[in-house]
Structure 1
Amino acid sequence: MEVRGIHHAYRRRKVLGGIDLELRAGTLVGVVGENGAGKTTLLKILAGELAPDRGWVRHHGGFGYCPQQPVLNDALTVRQHLDFFQNAFALPDLRWAEEVMDVLGLREYGGERAGNLSGGTRQKLNLTLALMHDPQVLLLDEPYQGFDWDTYQRFWDLAVLLRTAGRCVLVVSHLAYDTERLDELHRLHDGVLQQPTAAVTA
């Protein structure tokens, strides 16, 4: 995914003032910034949910988007959500989705209605739905919300699995957790991305 010259403002309040970013295959990338820095606005533009005032985003493959607030139907079970998205993505089977569920520890909740799930388990389902069509790029907005320590570790196990498979994972958060796990870390400040820190190997 290539991002060039992204500008966006809400009325007279400039939020993004020229964002350039390249998301390369096989990388874990972080973007951190204070609340209100424009992180969610940037993700919405990358996902095509919001049009920038200027600039462009070019996709070189499929992407998955996991927003900060899970978009789920409380009346449907976990399994029914998977069936619905399988049809939406025209997937031949759910093998990859079930593998993701196993890594996250979600499979045992297959028969539970979404409305009865804890916040952390809802986030697991949110993440599974974003990943089940095996996108080349995964866009995550504050993915740790509601995760206990075990789930947090499982999340990073999944992230490493995706990187090894040649996928790119972009994690956006207001706090820089476990930055040593990332290949690149950008800071969003005053509407621009500061130069990434030196790449490290997780």
Structure 2
Amino acid sequence: MAEGPQLHLSAVHKAYGRRSVLRGADLTVEPGTLAGVVGENGSGKSTLLRIAVGQLAPDHGTVRCGSPPGYCPQQAVVNDMLTVAQHLRLFQVAYRLPQLRYAWQLVDLLGFQDERRTRAGELSGGTRQKLNLTLALMHDPPLLVLDEPYQGFDWDTHQRFWDLAIRLRDRGRSVVVVSHLLHDLQHFDTVHHLREGRLHREVTR
């Protein structure tokens, strides 16, 4: 298990023009922690995550990651012309993975193994999101940053996702999940409420 926090944000500020979104946000996620980020729509949750994974630079503050994160954005970033299997092979090369055993285990766990030869453009919204999540997890990174990763999932797959997230946490992974669903709060070790540009931490376990 890694030493020290996998993710540490300190006094992070971000504004879009005159609109201040983050006003000194702090977030620390230790190894083996399942952390939730919650807040109203437009409160800056996605901005916070994009800064955490290095997609967006903060105006002020510091960001430290213990390792490159696995990032699942809210909107699936897939190529409509490629099949599910072709996506996995493409990301296998990008991640320099020797084999795809774990990736296919994720496909089976999320329940879309019958879509291996289906082009992404022909997948339902929920299945596109399953592929999006698989691509973020398939290299088994120590830090996972997931922005409402289960959009479009049916209830069974939603429960499978949480079983997987808890399993990853128990293996020492740091898992950050943005959620707007109240019944998800029971799964988190810590909940961070984003209000008026700051995070307010609540320990749930």
TM-score range, shorter chain: over 0.9
Residue in 2 that maps onto 1:167: 173
Q: Which of 6, 15, 21 is the equivalent residue of 1:15? A: 21
The separation in 1 between residues aligned to 2:143 and 2:65, in whole angstroms, is 9
Residue in 2 that maps onto 1:88: 94
- Paired residues, number: 199
Q: Is 2:145 the partner of 1:142?
A: no
The separation in 2 between residues aligned to 1:144 and 1:32, in whole angstroms, is 15
The separation in 2 between residues aligned to 1:169 and 1:183, in whole angstroms, is 10
TM-score (norm: length of structure 1): 0.95
The separation in 2 between residues aligned to 1:10 and 1:174, in whole angstroms, is 23
Matches within 5 A, 1:1-202: 1-194=7-200, 196-200=201-205
Conservation of the 8 A alpha-carbon contact between 1:33 and 1:175: no
Conservation of the 8 A alpha-carbon contact between 2:11 and 2:60: yes
Conservation of the 8 A alpha-carbon contact between 1:103 and 1:157: no
Conservation of the 8 A alpha-carbon contact between 1:32 and 1:176: no
The separation in 1 between residues aligned to 2:116 and 2:132, in whole angstroms, is 13
Q: Single out whichever of 53-62 and 69-78 deviates more from structure 2.
A: 53-62
The separation in 1 between residues aligned to 2:170 and 2:68, in whole angstroms, is 17
The separation in 2 between residues aligned to 1:44 and 1:107, in whole angstroms, is 30
Taking only aligned residues, the RMSD between alpha carbons, in angstroms, comes to: 1.0
TM-score (norm: length of structure 2): 0.94
**How big is the shift at 1:116?**
0.9
Residue in 1 that maps onto 2:3: none
Deviations 1:172-202 (A, max 9, x none): 12333321111011110000011x22332xx
Deviations 1:6-65 (A, max 9, x none): 000001110000011111111111010111100010011011110000011111123111
What are the ranges of 5 or more consecutive residues in structure 2 without an aligned counterpart?
A: 1-6
Conservation of the 8 A alpha-carbon contact between 2:145 and 2:175: yes
